[in-house]
Amino acid sequence: MTQPTHGGNVYKAAYEQQIPVDRILDFSASINPLGPPAVMRHAIRSAIKQIVHYPDPDCRQLRQALAQRCGVDPSMILVGNGSTELIHLLPRALGIKSALIVGPTFEEYARALQDAGSTVRYVYARREERFRPPVTEVLRALSTKRPRFDAVFVCNPNNPTGQMITRSVMCEIAEVIERRQSWLIVDEAFIDYCQNQSVVSLLSAHPRIVMLRSLTKFYAMPGLRVGYLLGASKVVDQMKERQPPWSVNSLAQAVCCAVLRDRAYEIKSRVFMANERSRFMKELRSLPGVRVYSSVANFVLIELPDRSSAGLVADQLAAEGLLVRDCSTLPGLSARMIRVAVRTVKENRRLTGALGAYVANAAP
Ligand SMILES: Cc1ncc(COP(=O)(O)O)c(C=O)c1O
């Protein structure tokens, strides 16, 4: 399997630029700019003594906390070493031989499917429609006899377009899925910024929905690696059988239990993001020739002016210690697209300044 280019590789950037990692400003991974909740440090300190034991392979306390939060039974939750681990378990655990992916989107679904020998097809949101989710096309693809899809993968809100399928539309898709006896995989890695649209409440009526969630982005701890899956208990059991033992370490389990109790952090993060995203987008839109797509998440997709190259811009910004996600290699996007995370006001201003200088120099 070839390694895809994801955002967030600050180590590679630091090595290439010959600067320390902490001099890199990473806009390429979409991580909560407020940093992890303060309770994280305390949780790590008190969990250190558990390191002499293997971690709880069943993540009992954490599953209990997540179950309470999501309003489901703990038997409907499987915790993983980041949601990436769970994405890779899915195709074999559910016997997915052919899948439909709603693109352009996170590349790991296709990678996991191809690794399991599954056939992958896409329906794409289109630039001309400002990347509106291609719901009609999805429903049409699902209603044809051939090819028949064992599963549909939807990222909601979608990375990198920042667009969202509403819960009522998702319900429509779920009904078709039920009739076809397929699976609807909904990745809610970025749902914390638009919670009331989660499909979690559909789980009890739709046992063929499987949801993925990540704790690494909203709680700003991608280095700790925790994600979880929500689905029917039978699905969870099937997945668990394939998961390596102890894949979620003790510190990660303890930290997640602690941060989930910090409701003030959640509110502060949501309020900050709503305000700063709109300020940042306005600032970016003022750059000549730059198109900024609307987003409900903590990142924005940007189309650079005509004749720009996303790869070149990403390289130039990297030379200034600013990492952005070059989206030109993502199926369904153009050579002029980059994705940037919404960070703090000061950091965002720095990026707008650097991008503005590039745009001004590149103007004919
Ligand atoms: C849409 C989406 N899903 C899942 C993941 C994986 O997250 P993690 O493995 O850190 O939980 C990512 C990471 O960027 C993502 O963008």
Residue 5 clears pLDDT 80, i.e. is over it = no
Closest CA to 280 of 223, 332, 345: 345
| pLDDT tier, 146 (very low <50, low <70, confident <90, very high otherwise) | confident
- Residue 22: DSSP 8-state: G
CATH topology of domain 10-36+263-362: Aspartate Aminotransferase, domain 1 (3.90.1150)
Residue 4 clears pLDDT 70, i.e. is over it = no
322-338 average pLDDT score: 94
- Which of 84, 153, 215 best tests ligand 1's pocket when mutated (most atoms within 8 Å of CB)? 84
Atom index in ligand 1 nearest the CA of residue 29 equals 14
63-89 average pLDDT score: 98
Closest CA to 155 of 109, 122, 219, 204: 109
How far apart (Å, rounded) are the C-alpha atoms in residues 54 and 111?
30
pLDDT above 70 as % of the chain: 98
Q: How far is the CA of 155 from the centre of ligand 1 (A)?
A: 10
Instruction: Tell me the range of 4-13, 167-176, 191-200 where mean pLDDT is highest.
Output: 167-176
pLDDT the model gives residue 158: 98
Topology match between the domains 10-36+263-362 and 39-259: no
pLDDT the model gives residue 37: 97
Alpha helix (H) residue ranges in 213-321: 233-242, 250-259, 263-285, 310-319
303-327 average pLDDT score: 94
Domain residue ranges of the chain, discontinuous segments joined by +: 10-36+263-362, 39-259
Evaluate whether the domain defined by 39-259 bears CATH number 1.10.3720.10.
no
What's the token pair of residue 173?
A: 């898709």
Residue 49 clears pLDDT 80, i.e. is over it = yes
pLDDT the model gives residue 21: 87
Residues 6+ apart with CB under 8 A from 355: 284, 287, 290, 313, 317
How far apart (Å, rounded) are the C-alpha atoms in residues 284 and 73?
44
